[in-house]
A and B are shown apart, each in its own frame.
Chain A
Amino acid sequence: MSKFRKKKKGMPAVNTASLPDIVFMLLFFFMVTTTMRETDLRIENPRLPSATEIKKLEDKSLVSTIYVGKSKDPNRDGVGYNKIQLNDKIATADQVPNFIFSKRDKIAEALHPFMTTSIKADKESNVGTITDIRLKLRDVNALKVSYSTQKGSNN
């Protein structure tokens, strides 16, 4: 008889043994999809203009990015929305060719025509600055340019 009386009433604990598995799965997903920002921004995060006719940049490794915007440190770099950042330094348009050459060094020659320069410029920066960059890019035959924008709504 005692055998039956022993039965204890109470909620059984939820088995959490598989919780780490679930969490790990999520973890791996985020680890794989994460892209870390490679360069520190010396300029304030540019407020991109918006457009509707946009194309996605296909191959990340063939893209070199030029930032244009307002410096985070106006005491050192001066004010205004026309500061150019190459790699992680504030630079001038004259240094753009060298920047492109250093990017090209890392990539096979056959792929050079497919390299794209993405210009991330603040919407308040001036067209003059962009033109300076564009002329320099043309000088070194980096002809594919993408003006980075947000996806705007169709009005």
Chain B
Amino acid sequence: MNDMTPVTALKDWESDQEVRWCPGCGDYAILKAVQRTMPDLGVTPENTVFISGIGCSSRFPYYMETYGFHTIHGRAPAVATGVKLANPDLSVWLVTGDGDGLSIGGNHMLHLLRRNLDTQVLLFNNEIYGLTKGQYSPTSRPGTTSPSTPYGSVDSPVSPCAFALGCGARFVARAIDVNKNLGGTLKEAHAHRGTSFVEIFQNCIVYNEDVFEEFAAKKTAADTQIWVEHGEPLLFAKGAKGLALDVDALSLKVVDVADGDWEAAGVAVHDQANRSLAMMLVQMPFGEFPMALGTIFHNPAETFDAAVTKQNEAASVGKSDDLQALIAQGQTWTVE
């Protein structure tokens, strides 16, 4: 935060609109975490824009006392691209869901990520269509019964973080709606220049309650969650277990750590700039492995908005902006 940025408090980020999600919805926790984190980011409400598509999560902008644009289904990345290119000084946030961001808007998400527009993407993954009343989504597990799949879904789900990494994302993180670490992850996402992709496991209490309970439950979290940190060993279960590289299988494996000697157990150290490691972490089958959370991949490069601005400027150097001369260009002739 620089000295010129006015100090804001949580209430400065709350709009006067009554929040209309179902009581108990995970969205409330995410909203609060975002509002609580904003004062720490060195941005002002007037320079912040929240852009969303369609779905429960996409009502988010109405509850933020910032500029907000509730657009159309799946297209928030496109609108955000125009906003950021027109005014790169704005802090642009996208709020989307598994249906909005990965089904109808999957194409836009792909291109947003590969272009690396400087924006934060908060993808609320609840593995279900909430606003349309409970159909299975592209992240639903095989066999999900829903109004549109009474005999169970038969298609394979997409892994949001693996998708993002495959698209060339340069910041990929994972968090849980009610987890205290969400704020920290959001701060890291904001600090990254480029598209920051944050998958947030969000509990839909009406249509998919407790679908993440097996790893989200606080009681068993120590054994089921691994919060990765750059430069730190990949340990969980209070240091009793770790992730090591299985060189023969070209994958990760869980190893026991005796007496805290993780080096002896061969536990790998997290390198957030390593895309292959990140891909292994986000694709670990849960059960056999814990759920990887936190900033899994972070490897910055030039942002799309910066590149566009730079090219616009370079292409203008030494060129006249005389409109009259422009329209009279080419081979001309004069009639007396």
A and B from one assembly? Answer: no
